[in-house]
Structure 1
Amino acid sequence: MGTFWSIFIILLVVLNIAGCIWLLWWTSKRRPGEPETTGHVWDGDIREYNKPLPRWWINLFYITIVFTVGYLIWYPGAGSFAGTSGWTSAKEHAADRAVAEAKIMAALAPFEGQPIDVLARNPQAVEHGRSVFAANCATCHGSDARGARGFPNLADGSWQWGRDPQAVLTSILDGRQAAMPPFAAVLGSDRAVLETGVYVQSLSGQPVDPALAAAGKPRFANVCAACHGAEGKGNPALGAPDLTDDVWLYGGDFDAIRTAIVKGRAGAMPAHEPLIGETRARLAGAWVWSLSHGDASTAGSGTAP
């Protein structure tokens, strides 16, 4: 908080307290010349008197003012003054979080360090993993882990970065950065982009113009095979997807393929180890693993839909 606003708030607080004190003093006694009654009369003889508030009532208000001053001295509430107690909402939140984290880690301790394929055979671990996934991963991959355009489906058998347990765990802990640069300038012309895109379509068995596909094959070999392989089957070490199956992260129609060639793609998954820790990452990985491997058949809602 800046100095100006701090002083402004302190002055505002002081003026409000002083105003309350003045108002109580002003209304606590009768002043000369004031009428005995307000002039209101009911039923002929019931009059409303004009008298100060009772002394005990006034004193209660003074006590609340004293309490207010003490509160503002003890707790932060007057501008940037931190208070003599040293209390902050951040410290209280951190303390509460530490208590909650200790309880959570105690509950997760039995699963610590276990491989995700082993955890996937434990229904309790899979159920915990489903909760971790729902809280941290479902925003991108969906509550059923089936993904969306630009976000991988984790419930099928296609794994861009490899399907072994360690690869899955590494994706969660360290994140992934999948970058495909634009290749329009490298290919040199719209015709070359067209031919290359049609050849990529043909790799997955889509009906295409054979002549265009044949013309695109050598272009693919010269430009794209370095990452996707000579046969287009991808390279998990680079995160280059298999182009011969029917799984398309951004769509398998020609327009989507052409956009990828011309503009490139940039997919990023953030590292989750700093966010959820290793044990919870393993549990989330176990639930994902169970979706495509079915190892936790008795896990109830933790199994694949």
Structure 2
Amino acid sequence: MSDFFSNGWSIFIMAGTIGGLVFCVALLIIASRRRVMAKDDTTGHVWDEDIREMNNPLPRWWMGLFVLTIVIAGIYLALYPGLGSYSGTLGWSSEGQYQDEQAKAQKAMHQVYARFESMPVETLARDSQAQGIGERLFANNCAQCHGADAKGSKGFPNLTDNDWLYGGDPATIIQTITEGRQGMMPPMAAAVGSPEDVRNVANYVLSLSGSPHNSIAAALGKPKFAACAACHGMDGKGNQALGAPNLTDKIWLHGWGEAAIVAMVNNGKHNVMPEHGSRLSADQIRVLAAYVWGKSHTASITADASGTGSGLSGGATVAAAVKP
């Protein structure tokens, strides 16, 4: 869009604004020269036989307000941006005001989050106040994709099943929320072979999780799976460093069955998890990460809190007692 803008637009806006003010001043001067010539001086307009429009000058009070309006407009244009690219003597901008407001809000919020700074994420997952804040953060920033219950939907991961594409430890969750993720499954049909080979590979993939499949086709597809093993591993258990999903656990992010797998191999998939580091503070992200981490460790956290589990307490011991 920058190709469509030049300094000419700034000059055009400046000329239009100043021209409007000059016109108002000229109109005021012309109107102020009007004098009452006679008591029966009218515009010639008559209604209902005897109602006439008088041709009187503008009231003094109205002219005073008009002058005041022009003066205020001139002062405003000198102080604030309004004349094209001129930024005004105060240097104010909507972006600067937004940043100032954000800084004040962050400072106020930091006081709320100060109590959580020294707590490990695993401990925050057990803290009722932190979980209340985390739940609201999740509802405002994550529930649109992952659902209010964090169980996701087709194309959006379930955060409650402890099956993680990139890893479910607190540090990785914080990184994912902060930086986002770019999940890329390239089209692999050319590397696999013919359409029949693709169907055979799909059946082999189904066999890895014990899902219903054609065993003969799966046997034929096993050698062709080598094209997929670079990311998913020869055993099909995936690679969290690459975000390659585990194909052996019966959890299907983009749909189950031969047709869904064939479509994935043929077309590939590009999934985006947007970054939140620019909209949430580090304190907010830690609390949100604790809430997300806790969704997949609910049973262990509940057992530990009730004393029926390991019997351990405290942040470090909870971290040791709960498998990440």
- 8 A contact 1:192–1:216 mirrored in 2: yes
Deviation at 1:39, TM superposition (A): 5.8
1:113-124 matches, within 5 Å, as 114-124=119-129
Taking CA–CA contacts closer than 8 Å with sequence separation of 6 or more, which of the two structures ends up with the larger relative contact order? 1
What corresponds to 1:284 in structure 2? 288
Query: Which whole-Å CA distance do the structure 2 matches of 1:95 and 1:115 have between them?
Result: 31
- 8 A contact 1:141–1:147 mirrored in 2: yes
The one of 208, 214, 235 equivalent to 1:209 is 214
CA RMSD of aligned residues (A): 3.0
Deviation at 1:31, TM superposition (A): 7.0
Query: Which whole-Å CA distance do the structure 2 matches of 1:271 and 1:65 have between them?
Result: 47
What corresponds to 1:303 in structure 2? none
Deviation at 1:44, TM superposition (A): 9.4
Percent of residue pairs bearing the same amino acid type:
46
Return 50-59 or 208-217, whichever deviates more.
Answer: 50-59
Show CA shifts across 1:95-142 (max 9, x none): 122111111122112222533221110111111112222333233323
The one of 250, 261, 264 equivalent to 2:254 is 250
What corresponds to 1:8 in structure 2? 12
Query: Which whole-Å CA distance do the structure 2 matches of 1:168 and 1:47 have between them?
Result: 80
- 8 A contact 1:160–1:236 mirrored in 2: yes
What corresponds to 1:263 in structure 2? 267
Structure 2 gaps of 5+ residues are 306-324
Q: Aligned AA for 2:223?
A: P
Deviation at 1:41, TM superposition (A): 7.7
**Normalization by structure 2: what TM-score?**
0.79
Show CA shifts across 1:225-251 (max 9, x none): 443344323333332222122210111
The one of 77, 88, 111 equivalent to 1:83 is 88
Query: Which whole-Å CA distance do the structure 1 matches of 2:47 and 2:219 have between them?
Result: 105
- 8 A contact 1:290–1:296 mirrored in 2: no
Instruction: Find out whether 1:126 has 2:131 as its counterpart.
Output: yes
- 8 A contact 1:201–1:208 mirrored in 2: yes
What corresponds to 1:23 in structure 2? 27
What corresponds to 1:196 in structure 2? 201
Structure 1 runs of 4+ aligned residues shifted over 4 Å read 31-35, 38-48
Instruction: Find out whether 1:53 has 2:78 as its counterpart.
Output: no
Query: Which whole-Å CA distance do the structure 1 matches of 2:110 and 2:288 have between them?
Result: 15
Query: Which whole-Å CA distance do the structure 2 matches of 1:171 and 1:256 have between them?
Result: 27
Q: Note closer, same or farther for the CA distance 1:293–1:37 as it changes in structure 2 (3 Å cut).
A: same
Deviation at 1:21, TM superposition (A): 2.2
